[in-house]
Amino acid sequence: MKIIYIHQYFKTYAEGGSSRSYYLAKALVQAGHEVEMITAHNAKKYRKAEIDGITVHYLPVFYDNKFGFWQRIFAFLAFIVRAYRLAASIPNPSICYATSTPLTIGAIALALRWRKRIPFYFEVRDLWPLAPVQMGVIRNWLLQKLLFGLERKIYQRAEKIIALSPGMVPYIAEKVDRGKIYVISNMADCSFFQHEPKNTRVAEQYGVDDKFVITYCGAIGEVNRLDYLLNAAGYFQANRCEEVHFLIAGKGKELEKLQRLAVQYKLRNVTFLGCLTKYKVRELMSITDAVYVSFARKPVLQTSSPNKFFDGLAAGKLCIVNTKGWMKDLIESEGCGVYADPLQPQRLLEKVTFYLRNRAALKQAQAKARQLAENHFSRELLTRRFIRMFTSEPTIQRPTKETQPVSAN
């Protein structure tokens, strides 16, 4: 089967960012399918490459995490036009697999379905436009109405919808039959990340060889609210908890602001590392005791399925989350992490102090994190579930009114 895979931010190990589409596209190739990946890069010219059997089309659409709202919209629209033209020129495709964000990727799939009769699956990485609406980014009522209408149309016309977390399902099910919703979360790459003792050589290089290391890896934007983490670091420092050090790796619109805050607060226990490749993230995990997953206090963000969480599970790290929702419920039930209210840094200090004083409990929680990754979120397990959705060549189906249980595979 020939599959047009559209993801505006496709990344490999050599780049920072999510590797999910690389995992899935590679699995499709290994299963005997032909994959044409359409993505964007910040170069000035189109480029075509073969990566592990995946044909990757890089379109020249510049994008930066520092972009403002209208700059982002322009980049999204530019990608729609270029990606549609390219996808429409690919001969004899069987299906289009379109992954958000942004939601506008679904507009390409809709156009291909309408003009070329190509059925599509739609992957929901974030509940968009609900997230920017709750964050106050999209305030115009007419634009909100148009975007929610586009979202509903995409969900209704997709043959299957792939949600990245169980928390997303109730919202999506308000718009379409549950029978076409599949939950395939982000993945824990248990072969790439290893659960092993702290690498003292690397720890010395980072200057944290005698520290309890809490690491944040990922985007540094408004939705991530890393000022919560800096506030916690300030509280730790003020209370003379010098055994803990915070490492922050990533890039985004809020990075410079956070760096200024760290200087203003005179934080000696925070180090900014910049954007890292997947290989460097693995190295960082080798000196980390706990990973920190941070989001703003908005209900929609409780449904997120962040890569950093699954990397932490795969590496066997204590997981600290600052939002309620499915991740909090999961780590508490599995005994591999803790919830810390971001507005109460003293609670984080109390919970970290417990593990500082009880190393056996820390090792047990870390082992449970790795076990959870292997048993429920491993790359091998989830790619097998993913591939089963492509066992037969799809045709465009009319929506039905049947109600079925949500499929886990």
ω into 197 cis (within 30 of 0): no
Q: Which stretches of 158-302 are DSSP H helices? A: 169-173, 200-206, 227-238, 255-264, 278-285
Domain membership of residue 195 (yes or no) is no
- In this predicted model, what pLDDT tens digit does every residue of 380-392 receive, in sequence order? 999 999 999 998 7
Domain membership of residue 398 (yes or no) is no
Domain count, the chain: 2
What is the percent of the chain where pLDDT is above 90? 89
Compute the distance between CA of residue 97 and CA of residue 103 in angstroms, rounded to an integer.
13
Q: Element (H or E) spanning 364, and its range?
A: helix 359-376
Cβ 120 vs Cβ 113: under 8 Å: yes
Structure tokens at 367: 């082992």
For residues 240 and 362, state if they share a domain: yes
Cβ 79 vs Cβ 59: under 8 Å: yes
Domain membership of residue 168 (yes or no) is yes
Average pLDDT, the chain: 93
For residues 134 and 241, state if they share a domain: no
Q: How confident is the model at residue 395 (pLDDT cuts 50, 70, 90)?
A: confident
Number of residues assigned to the chain: 409
Domain membership of residue 97 (yes or no) is yes
Structure tokens at 369: 């994190």
Q: Tell me the residue range of the domain where 366 lies.
A: 200-376
Cβ 195 vs Cβ 41: under 8 Å: no
Nearest partner of 120 among 96, 156, 101, judged by Cα = 96
- In this predicted model, what pLDDT tens digit does every residue of 41-66 receive, in sequence order? 999 999 999 999 999 999 999 998 77
Compute the distance between CA of residue 32 and CA of residue 381 in angstroms, rounded to an integer.
18
Cβ 3 vs Cβ 94: under 8 Å: yes
Contact partners, residue 139, CB within 8 Å, separation at least 6: none
Domain membership of residue 409 (yes or no) is no
For residues 360 and 385, state if they share a domain: no
- Which pLDDT does position 398 carry in this prediction? 52
Domain membership of residue 402 (yes or no) is no
Q: Which residue in the block uniquely carries the two structure tokens 């934007």?
A: 221
Residue 45 neighbours by CB distance under 10 Å? 8
Q: Which residue in the block uniquely carries the two structure tokens 């979202």?
A: 151
Domain membership of residue 399 (yes or no) is no
Compute the distance between CA of residue 9 and CA of residue 281 in angstroms, rounded to an integer.
18
Q: How confident is the model at residue 397 (pLDDT cuts 50, 70, 90)?
A: low
For residues 172 and 245, state if they share a domain: no
**What CATH number should be reported for the domain holding residue 222?**
3.40.50.2000
Give Dmax (Cα) for the chain.
65
For residues 223 and 138, state if they share a domain: no
pLDDT over 80 at 205, yes or no: yes
For residues 214 and 179, state if they share a domain: no
For residues 122 and 180, state if they share a domain: yes
Domain membership of residue 395 (yes or no) is no
pTM above 0.85, yes or no: yes
For residues 224 and 123, state if they share a domain: no
- Which pLDDT does position 400 carry in this prediction? 44
Compute the distance between CA of residue 46 and CA of residue 57 in angstroms, rounded to an integer.
7
Residues 75, 78, 84, 86: is their CA dihedral positive or negative? negative
Backbone φ and ψ of 105, nearest 5°:
-60, -35
| For range 324-349, the mean pLDDT | 97
For residues 72 and 216, state if they share a domain: no
For residues 206 and 266, state if they share a domain: yes
For residues 383 and 284, state if they share a domain: no
For residues 215 and 343, state if they share a domain: yes
- In this predicted model, what pLDDT tens digit does every residue of 114-172 receive, in sequence order? 999 999 999 999 999 999 999 999 999 999 999 999 999 999 999 999 999 999 999 99
